[in-house]
């Protein structure tokens, strides 16, 4: 799931990631080994500032927090044992289920997992208390260095814990992401697509399950075949507390989607979905749950393959119940092919941009002179051999890039974009209002206060100008615009 446009080896590519906070993992580790020292990260120190406001600990409990290395927690501490699995860890006291559900999904994709979590790390050979992880951050891959001091109380990790008590890749991955976010407390509350994006740089699609397309299960099947990351979220408590208590679900919670399966039950075809709770416990107890008698109605092969009666947080349910009792689902992949099953090779282009107050932040009012100061991107869409009006052939992603270091303090502007057909006589370069003063936009997106806005569209062959903007003028912010197109496209 690593975009081909990065294969040139430039800084920020998978093979040449940006060194987060200027820290070079190889150089630091070599110096530590020569000095026989242990790494202590001054840019993310082992103190309460790095822990942040995790809300669930009292002042007295915070005073008891002790930062310990894995070897101090278990004499046989290991980075990874027999490969990484979603069952290696469970959630701790930090409310970051969205991130842990995303890790659970990541473990299914071995090549991507090995990129985010370099596997040649150990507590034995050349150990110096230093580790590193890679994330995709706003258009560039970054390499994040950490020490292995973990926050604990009574020698129990405050946050993510190893189920075996001696496998530490997940707590260390969490610490690296906490460093990127500003603190552990800054990881509280979120949704899986944010972490999916930071694990892959891929394109994500959200489905409101109450309005899901009839072919949703087929989309999910294709998504898993395409090695997509998938997650879902439950309703908030106001949906009805009795529903959650009756069926064993958790409200306002993020889960990973870990599988789909078609079974035959008493002559009927049943589409099943497998869900995993990052708590490592608390499961659905309705139809097709671990103890459901419906498993007696399927073949021995399907039952043996699917049914594992254990309290591990993972369960099956039919897709109809999934759409009833869950609120939304997210799919993230390097290609949008899972949406319609088309096997075409999507073209992808990524550009950095910025709105500057008084210079290039003209807002969204297309009849205002200031609107035309917004950044502009020319897109030439070429013809496909098989294409008809209405076929989705262009996907646009507009991703805000905050200047704020601490995730919890970021405030996102309402963002969107307008698309105009460029007249054949229009000059090259930035267009003024006079060029398109009599033209209506071909498309105008929704405007949302979101980290990322993604929309699929159908554009006939021709030349267009895409104008990303904030809803209100004079809002200064950086952004990344990514354009996926089925046909060959030229972007300026």
Cβ pair 46, 67 in contact under 8 A: yes
Q: What are the beta bridge partners of residue 329?
A: 207, 232
Q: What are the beta bridge partners of residue 331?
A: 205, 230
Checking phi first, is residue 353 left (phi over 0); if not, alpha (psi -120 to 50) or beta?
beta
Cβ pair 130, 39 in contact under 8 A: yes
Q: What are the beta bridge partners of residue 18?
A: 142
**Cα–Cα distance for residue pair 174/170, rounded to 1 Å:** 6
Which residues are part of the catalytic machinery? Answer: 97, 253, 277
């Amino acid at each position: 799931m690593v975009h081909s446009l990065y294969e040139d080896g430039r800084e920020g590519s998978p093979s040449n990631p940006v060194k987060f906070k200027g820290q070079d993992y190889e150089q630091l580790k070599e110096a530590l080994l020569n000095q026989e020292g242990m790494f202590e990260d001054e840019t993310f120190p082992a103190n309460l500032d790095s822990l942040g406001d995790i809300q669930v600990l009292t002042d007295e409990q915070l005073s008891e927090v002790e930062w310990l290395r894995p070897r101090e927690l278990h004499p046989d501490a290991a980075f990874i044992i027999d490969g990484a699995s979603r069952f290696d860890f469970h959630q701790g006291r930090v409310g970051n289920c969205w991130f842990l559900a995303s890790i659970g999904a990541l473990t299914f994709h071995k090549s991507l997992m090995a990129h985010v979590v370099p596997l040649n790390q150990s507590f034995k050979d050349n150990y110096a208390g230093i580790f590193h992880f890679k994330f995709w951050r706003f258009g560039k891959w970054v390499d994040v260095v950490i020490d292995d001091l973990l926050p604990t109380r009574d020698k129990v990790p405050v946050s993510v814990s190893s189920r075996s008590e001696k496998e530490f890749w997940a707590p260390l991955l969490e610490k690296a992401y906490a460093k990127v976010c500003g603190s552990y407390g800054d990881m509280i509350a979120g949704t899986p697509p944010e972490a999916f994006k930071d694990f892959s740089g891929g394109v994500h699609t959200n489905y409101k399950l109450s309005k899901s397309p009839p072919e949703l299960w087929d989309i999910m099947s294709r998504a898993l075949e395409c090695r997509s990351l998938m997650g879902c979220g439950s309703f908030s408590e106001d949906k009805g507390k009795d529903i959650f208590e009756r069926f064993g679900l958790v409200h306002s919670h993020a889960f990973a989607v870990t599988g789909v399966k078609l079974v035959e039950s008493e002559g009927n075809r049943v589409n099943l979905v497998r869900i995993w709770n990052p708590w490592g416990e608390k499961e659905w107890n309705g139809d097709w749950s671990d103890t459901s008698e419906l498993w007696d109605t399927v073949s021995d092969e399907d039952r043996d393959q699917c049914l594992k009666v254990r309290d591990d947080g993972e369960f099956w349910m039919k897709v109809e119940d999934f759409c009833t009792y869950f609120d939304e689902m997210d799919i993230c992949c390097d290609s949008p092919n899972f949406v319609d099953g088309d096997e075409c090779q999507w073209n992808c282009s990524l550009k950095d941009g910025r709105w500057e107050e008084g210079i290039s932040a003209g807002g969204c009012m297309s009849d205002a002179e200031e609107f035309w100061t917004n950044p502009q991107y020319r897109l030439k869409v070429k013809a496909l051999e098989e294409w008809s009006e209405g076929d989705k052939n262009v996907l646009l992603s507009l991703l805000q890039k905050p200047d704020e270091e601490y995730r919890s303090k970021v405030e996102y502007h309402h963002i969107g974009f307008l698309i105009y057909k460029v007249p054949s006589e229009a000059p090259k370069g930035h267009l003024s209002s006079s060029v398109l003063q009599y033209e209506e936009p071909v498309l105008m997106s929704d405007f949302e206060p979101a980290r990322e806005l993604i929309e699929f569209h159908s554009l006939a062959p021709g030349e267009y100008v895409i104008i990303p903007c904030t809803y209100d003028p004079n809002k200064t912010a950086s952004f990344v615009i990514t354009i996926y197109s089925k046909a060959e496209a030229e972007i300026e």
